[in-house]
Structure 1
Amino acid sequence: MNKPIGMFIPFWNGFMTDTRDPATTRRRLLEAALGEIHRKGFQAASLSAILERAEMTKGAMYHHFPNKKALGLAVIDELLPAIFQDEFNIHMDEKKGFVEGFIHAHQTFIRNRGASFIELGCPVANLAQEMSPIDEDFRVRIDALFQWGLKTMAQQIRTAQQHGELRQELDADATALFIFAAREGCESVAKTAQDKQLFFRCFEQLFIYIRTLSPNNARG
């Protein structure tokens, strides 16, 4: 199935405005770090490459972060939540109802960010797989981010149930967990295969499942 997919637009683009403002300097470092980590992983990401992306010196970095780990943890705390908020939750509100909102949000995501996720995968899932077994500080923060995403989706499902948009017998927490895992799985498998058609097919199956959650489209 041939579908439009956006050009490669990474999450860290658009930070190169030069300024001496400390907050902007910090943001540039974080976005440069996210870019390097997304492409190479945290362990392989080099400070020199991050500084080159940010067009900064080591001294400027150490003014804000004592070491590479502190920089990586700040990326999780300050940048990665936007992946859920900006890429999914905001676009869900552009359509009426959970089913149409979910599909619209993810179709928008595929158009805007699909190319980068096919090539590099989800930056949150990548970090989870790489760092959770070896660093407890990373694991705790990434788990908190996942739990926040799950809680947000479960609440969206409950609200939709209250409005009669989704089947009442659904377990909101379990349904959110399955959807969340399926979405991350689509991204992970497509990255490994480097196959955009696989990416599209996987999300199409997820959309079919989402439609069955409506009382009018339940499978018998």
Structure 2
Amino acid sequence: MKQEIKSELTQQLIIDKAFNLFYKNGFKSTSIDKIMHATKLSKGAFYHHFKNKQDIGLAVISQRVQTRILNGMIKPLDSNQEPVELLKHVFTSKIKSFSMEEKQAGCPANNLINEIGDSELGYQLALRKIIDDWKQAIIKVIENGISTGSIKPEVDSAAVAIYLISAFEGIRGIRKLYQDDQILEEYLLGVGNYINQLK
């Protein structure tokens, strides 16, 4: 039992360090050697848990990146709050809560989508699952708003969902480019106005 716990802790250490390196330096710039150096483990320890770099990449996407979006953007949508106000809250409050490091580094999911999303089917499917789950959660909120009359019946819930995701992910990248919070203020104003028009 102790060996199983130690093995699990080692695996999580490798995933954590890999996530941090991918986020800071990019996926392609991060070698297995750099991950091992950060963990202070041997290469043998890495290959005991992961077959190759793709294997660790998929683990990082499913266990770290997906969890961040699940906890930060999807679970908060599961609320009894009025749908329009809920969407405004979720798509503005998270932006306001980011640390300076997160503002400068951008979104881990978006970084990976731009860097490796089209390079291999495994990465593409894993990253697409994150967006699909997020999209479905937004659609559910919008459909609820339509059914209760707080959102206009002609609103296309799938189109709104993908627009909101694109706006949120896009501003994370643009903030990296400008290194200026004024761009976030402009996003907050724009997204708030857009969501209000759903009423």
TM-score (norm 2): 0.87
Alpha-carbon shift at residue 175 of structure 1 (Å): 1.1
Contact map agreement 2:171 2:187 (CA 8 A) in 1 = yes
Q: Secondary structure at the match of 1:190?
A: helix
Deviates more, 1:30-39 or 1:151-160: 151-160
The residue number in structure 2 matching 1:150 is 135
**Do the aligned partners of residues 72 and 185 (structure 1) sit closer, same or farther apart at CA in structure 2, a change above 3 Å counting?**
same
Q: Secondary structure at the match of 2:104?
A: helix
Alpha-carbon shift at residue 129 of structure 1 (Å): 1.1
Instruction: Write the distance in 2 (CA, Å) between the matches of 1:103 and 1:116.
Output: 24
1:1-220 equivalence runs, <5 A: 21-93=6-78, 96-214=81-199
User: Could you report, residue by residue, the CA deviation over 1:148-194 in whole angstroms, capped at 9, with x for unpaired residues?
Assistant: 22122112211222222211110111111111111111111111122
Read off the aligned partner of 1:148 and give its amino acid letter: D
Read off the aligned partner of 1:42 and give its amino acid letter: F
Instruction: Write the distance in 1 (CA, Å) between the matches of 2:139 and 2:24.
Output: 31
**Do the aligned partners of residues 101 and 52 (structure 1) sit closer, same or farther apart at CA in structure 2, a change above 3 Å counting?**
farther
Read off the aligned partner of 2:50 and give its amino acid letter: F
The structure in which a higher percent of residues are helix is: 2
Instruction: Write the distance in 2 (CA, Å) between the matches of 1:208 and 1:80.
Output: 29
Read off the aligned partner of 1:119 and give its amino acid letter: Q
**Do the aligned partners of residues 59 and 128 (structure 1) sit closer, same or farther apart at CA in structure 2, a change above 3 Å counting?**
same
| Matched pairs, number | 196
Q: Secondary structure at the match of 2:15?
A: helix
Contact map agreement 2:117 2:123 (CA 8 A) in 1 = yes
